[in-house]
């Protein structure tokens, strides 16, 4: 049986150090699923592991793409699963680490698959939304898929105010003639591994202090110069990232530098809260305080592994 030890948790909590310790323990590789560490032009602001850390274990999907390439979570899912199949041939235990919840889910569970929808349908829905507002989309979803509308209402009501997601739900209903909910949880790719999910957490004050310290370190290591090089391409999707956006505003003259740095800290703290909310939904995750001795975590993992 194959096992994918998956380390989750908010930014700056210590996931990299734990992943290297576990990779050393089990003699395996590390799959990174941090959606910004893929890009080779973004090193300091994405907290890419240091050269010393990278030398301690074989890492995959770190600085392997360019910001000028289109790279989706679906692309990552395919490449990561292919890499894991290759790695499991020689070692039935592998490590995955990262703070991008969507990318973690892509590898562990796969995505629901939907048929292609004619672009003209989306265009027509867009026109009606522009004319009638979000109420049109809400009403249409109620008509076409009351089951899914009620699910959103009870579980995640803010989604009803998100026009992009609502347009997607409606276009699938109209384009296929079937409820959006009928496509959920169907035909997900089978996985040839059992996940062992390890979460790291800390008290909020500690977590925020670690984030503030990390931002200061990034600034000292040259984040300003790195961002200045990227500034001409600031509208690229990959660069719509905390740490870069705020400094782009500094270069635009909207912020002074001190304010921009404080904005990075504030927005990173907000990002960490969203990460926690996402990861706390993870089924069967085993949570540890960030200071827990690695040996204790290894003991727990070993109880999950059937030799």
DSSP for residue 39: B
Q: Is 16 annotated as a binding residue?
A: yes
Q: Is 9 annotated as a binding residue?
A: yes
Measured CA to CA, the distance from residue 191 to residue 109 in angstroms comes to 8
- How distant, in Å, are the alpha carbons of 12, 55, 261 from that of 23? 19, 12, 34
CB atoms within 10 A of CB 20: 22
Q: Is 176 annotated as a binding residue?
A: no
Q: Is 241 annotated as a binding residue?
A: no
Measured CA to CA, the distance from residue 118 to residue 140 in angstroms comes to 18
Q: Is 12 annotated as a binding residue?
A: yes
CB atoms within 10 A of CB 201: 19
Q: Is 175 annotated as a binding residue?
A: no
Task: Give just the sign of the alpha carbon dihedral 84, 85, 90, 92.
Answer: positive
Phi, psi of 68 (to 5 degrees): -85, -5
Contact criterion met (CB below 8 Å) for 197 and 286: yes
Label residues 239-250 b or e (16+ Cβ within 10 Å = b).
bebbbbbbbbeb
Point out the annotated binding site for substrate: 11-16
Point out the annotated binding site for ATP: 9-16
Point out the annotated binding site: 9-16
């Amino acid at each position: 049986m194959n096992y994918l030890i998956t380390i989750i948790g908010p930014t700056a909590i210590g996931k990299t150090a734990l992943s290297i310790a576990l990779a050393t323990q089990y003699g395996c590789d590390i799959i990174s699923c941090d959606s910004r560490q893929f890009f080779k032009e973004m090193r300091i602001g994405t907290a890419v592991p240091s050269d010393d850390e990278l030398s301690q274990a074989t890492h995959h999907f770190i600085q392997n793409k360019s910001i000028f390439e289109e790279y989706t979570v679906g692309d990552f899912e395919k490449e990561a699963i292919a890499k894991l199949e290759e790695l499991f041939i020689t070692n039935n235990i592998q490590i995955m680490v990262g703070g991008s919840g969507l990318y973690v889910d892509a590898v562990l569970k796969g995505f629901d698959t939907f048929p292609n929808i004619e672009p003209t349908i989306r265009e027509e829905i867009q026109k009606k939304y522009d004319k009638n507002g979000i109420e049109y989309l809400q009403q249409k979803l109620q008509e076409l898929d009351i089951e899914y509308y009620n699910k959103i209402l009870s579980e995640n009501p803010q989604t009803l105010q998100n026009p992009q997601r609502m347009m997607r739900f409606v276009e699938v209903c109209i384009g296929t003639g079937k409820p959006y909910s009928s496509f959920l949880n169907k035909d997900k790719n089978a996985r040839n591994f059992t996940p062992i999910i390890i979460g790291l957490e800390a008290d909020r004050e500690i977590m925020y202090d670690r984030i503030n310290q990390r931002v200061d370190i990034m600034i000292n290591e040259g984040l300003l110069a790195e961002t200045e090089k990227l500034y001409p391409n600031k509208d690229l999707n990959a660069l719509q990232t905390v740490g870069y956006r705020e400094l782009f505003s500094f270069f635009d003259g909207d912020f002074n530098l001190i304010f921009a740095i404080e904005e990075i800290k504030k927005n990173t703290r907000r990002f960490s809260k969203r990460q926690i909310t996402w990861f706390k939904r993870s089924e069967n995750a085993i949570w540890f305080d960030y200071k827990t001795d690695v040996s204790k975590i290894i003991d727990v993992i070993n109880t999950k592994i059937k030799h």
